[in-house]
Amino acid sequence: MEPKRVVITGMGIVSPVGRTVETYFDNLVAGKSGISRYEAFDSTDYDTKIAGEIKDLEVTDYIDRKEARRMDRFTHFAVIAAQQAVRDSEIRFDSVDREKFGVIVSSGIGGMRIYEKECQTLLEKGPGRVSPLLIPMLIADIAPGYISIHHGLKGVNYATISACASSAHAIGAAFNHIRYGEAIGMLAGGSEAPITRMGVSGFNAMRAISTRNDEPERASRPFDLDRDGFVMGEGGAVLLLEELSHARARGAKIYAELAGIGFSADAYHITAPDADGDGAYRCMRTALACAGMQPKDIDYINAHGTSTPLNDKSETVAIKRVFGDYAYQLAISSTKSMVGHILGGSGAVEAIACVMTLNKQIVHPTINYETPDPDCDLNYVPNKAVKRRVQAVMSNSFGFGGHNVSLLFKEFSS
């Protein structure tokens, strides 16, 4: 069968710099950092005391109080983002085939808060006091489960788990389900709530996260010579993907077209990227081929850009391998410089930034870019947003285990 075209008709987000799509993107363009000292727990004994934390979120403004108590924080973010995406799309589910409408919303880790809390209960009070809701609260696939229940969606429903590429894989998988006629629409994205004692301890033990505690807003500095690790963030984002003819039939507004996807594996190391950027290179090439596009068709890349020494260098190498000399003409920026690394939720959070870039024709900056790294010598849109004609964008997401995803969005044209 002829592959179907897939368009974006709704978006929702909860992030450290905004709880609506417009606020989020406006703050990215303004170069506003969402990094601060976290308040989730006492940081006294921890090497890292900063994160992209979402503060003062009244969950019960969105979710029934009793139901909210039965969800981990990562599920809160996912459910709220999905509500926003549905509202934004103006879709009426009572007038569509719910069996052809699905949900793939992912998390790299799942319910860390509830797991940590109930481990403490187990050790202090014994197994008989562990919550009967522990398992359904912590499993990563509970988020799409709740979303499907809330909206009565009976189609494809699962979560993809691939560390920091999880929600990008979710969007790519949703694309395929629509493209090949298995669904008419999908809610796709991801969320993460990793700012816990165990989360910070684990990444500190790996020496993966920044300890620039005295300058929280300057700590996440992708591609800068003085970067010392990523900064954890939390949040969630969901996009509504729809088959083009279905979107047209209901008169939906169309933000952009998802034109191509690329998946690959490094097959190299459990945490370190291939120094030659081979997995990222093949992933980007696959996305271009899927979309039937050439490297020079791309105007902007939203980089994985974690602010770690190895990732930023290898991603730069991969971009140069794909784009050749044209790499120096690309605009490239890292959303993580402002929101931190939302782990399994980052791909969806950054996909929304890409779609908004196409709609607003402005590229948000990579903040804290102060000292150039000779190994990272491309145009990372340092510190200030740039107005630029943008017709096609690529979003990169790479995860521990060597999981790679590239998503290619372009301006919609009939």
Could you list the active site residues? 164, 304, 341
Yes or no: say if 84 and 20 are a contact pair by the CB < 8 Å rule: yes
Tokens 């790499």 sit on residue: 327
Shortest CA distance to 105 belongs to which of 39, 65, 150? Answer: 150
CA distance 158 to 156: 7
- 3-state SS, one letter per residue, for the chain: CCCCCEEEEEEEEEECCECCHHHHHHHHHCCCCCCEECCCCCCCCCCCCEEECCCCCCHHHCCCHHHHHCCCHHHHHHHHHHHHHHHHHCCCHHHCCHHHEEEEEECCCCCHHHHHHHHHHHHHHCHHHCCCCHHHHHCCCHHHHHHHHHHCCCCCEECCCCHHHHHHHHHHHHHHHHHCCCCCEEEEEEEECCCCHHHHHHHHHHCCECCCCCCHHHCCCCCECCCCCECEECEEEEEEEEEHHHHHHCCCCCCEEEEEEEEEECCCCCCCCCCCCHHHHHHHHHHHHHHCCCHHHCCEEECCCCCCHHHHHHHHHHHHHHHHHHHHHCEEECCHHHHCECHHHHHHHHHHHHHHHHHHCEECCECCCCCEECCECCCCCECCCEECCCCEEEEEEEECCCEEEEEEEECCCC
